[in-house]
Each structure stands twice: as structure tokens, then as C-alpha cells.
Amino acid sequence: MNTDLVELIEALRRALDEAVAPELNSDYARGQLAAVHDILGKLAGMTVWDPAALQEQAQALIDGLTAFATRVQQAGVALPPGTVPSDLKSAQTRTHELIDWLDAQSNVLPLNLAIDLDAILRDALRDELRLQRKRIPLTDFSAMTAAAPKD
């Protein structure tokens, strides 16, 4: 298939306009079609690969990993070996490694240090998730779930 997902979604929207819309006789049905259009339009926007958005998510994790490494160094604890992340996938991998390391060290590290490190990782993950969710448009499903009018 040579058609990308956005083109496919736009073709679906055109087909709905050309073949379905002329056959709709009620406001309810037209409202349903409008809601489907809204959802498909938002879905098309979400499928576009945006390297800047991915880099923002990576940077949120990288910032957290830097703060984590700084706090570990201040405590005089050896940080587990690993690569310095440069993209989202490597930042996520390193974050997972440090989460596992922190869990394994929970009985060894001083409690205050463990709490600080846990908070740093939680904040980094929350920041990354916030950036990810910012790209997901809100959809109002109420038009589709409203009951059809009774005749």
C-alpha cells in the first residue's frame, strides 16, 4: 500500500461527504456524521510524525536523567553504567534502567536519597507524559452518544 494513514483518513472523510452526507435526512444523523468527521480529523493530526515533539519528550527525560545523575553524584554513590541518551527511545531505555536500579538499591540507599531519586524519575516521567498528552486533541463524544430523537 502506497497510501499513508493521513491520506487514507482524508479519503474516508471525502467518501463520507460524497456518499453518506447526501443521504442523511435528520439532524441527528448529520450530528453523528459531524462527530465522526471531528474524530477522523483529530486522528489524522495525531498520526503525523513530528520529530520536534519527540525531541521535546526526549529532552524532558534527559533533563530528569541529568538531575538523577547529579543527585547520585552528590551522594557519592556510583551510578550504574549506561549510555548517554540522545533520542526518545534511548532516554526511555535509560530511564527504565535507572528505575530498575533504584528498585534494586532500595534497601541499600539512605531513605532520603531513595525518596529524592524516586521523585526525580517520577517528575521526569510525568513531564514526558504531559508533553505526549498535549499532542492528543480532546474529542467530544457526546454528539455520538446522544440518544436519537423519538418520533
Residue spans per domain, the chain? 5-49+136-145, 51-134
Distance CA(57)–CA(124), nearest Å, equals 9
How confident is the model at residue 48, as a pLDDT?
63
pTM: 0.65
Phi-psi region of 76 (alpha: psi -120 to 50; beta: other; left: phi over 0): left
Cell of 41: 480529523
Read off the pLDDT of residues 64-111 as tens digits, 9 standing for 90 and up. Answer: 999 999 999 999 999 989 988 999 999 999 999 999 999 999 899 999
Read off the pLDDT of residues 23-53 as tens digits, 9 standing for 90 and up. Answer: 888 888 888 888 887 888 777 776 666 788 8
Segment 114-138 mean pLDDT = 90
